[in-house]
């Protein structure tokens, strides 16, 4: 195990990229739980919204993945 004093951040030392990633991941998880709860409850709302909610999740995952790749690319070029 690497001692805490010698660990470096995966993205950078400033902390803001990690905050962006955490916010993005929490957003994706929130959309996922919203969709799962909607499907679990069933009814008219489920029939009209469940596919749209899961599309939102896929889009959010793609955005977070692009942000992650961009942050890694910026770190490598710096």
Closest C-alpha to 69, from 26, 31, 35, 20: 20
pLDDT band (50, 70, 90) for residue 15:
confident
**Average pLDDT of span 50-60:** 94
Q: What distances in angstroms separate CA 32 from CA 48, 54, 58, one per listed residue? A: 17, 7, 9
Query: Is residue 28 included in any domain, yes or no?
Result: yes
Alpha carbon 28 to its chain centroid, in Å, reads: 5
Query: Is residue 53 included in any domain, yes or no?
Result: yes
Q: State the Cα–Cα distance between residues 55 and 78, nearest whole angstrom.
A: 35
Residue 56: per-residue pLDDT: 95
Query: Is residue 33 included in any domain, yes or no?
Result: yes
Ramachandran assignment for 42, one of left (phi > 0), alpha (psi -120 to 50 degrees), beta (any other): left
Query: Is residue 6 included in any domain, yes or no?
Result: no
**Average pLDDT of span 46-67:** 94
Residue 16: per-residue pLDDT: 85
Domain around 60? 18-77
Domain count along the chain? 1
Closest C-alpha to 64, from 56, 54, 75: 56
- For the question of whether the overall pTM of this predicted structure is more than 0.85, the answer is no
Residue 1: per-residue pLDDT: 57
């Amino acid at each position: 195990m690497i001692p805490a004093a010698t660990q470096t951040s995966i993205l950078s030392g400033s902390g803001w990229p990690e905050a962006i990633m955490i916010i993005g991941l929490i957003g994706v998880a929130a959309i996922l739980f919203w969709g799962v709860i909607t499907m679990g409850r069933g009814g008219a709302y489920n029939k009209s919204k469940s596919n749209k909610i899961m599309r939102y999740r896929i889009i959010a995952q793609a955005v977070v993945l692009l942000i992650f790749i961009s942050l890694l690319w910026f770190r490598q070029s710096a």
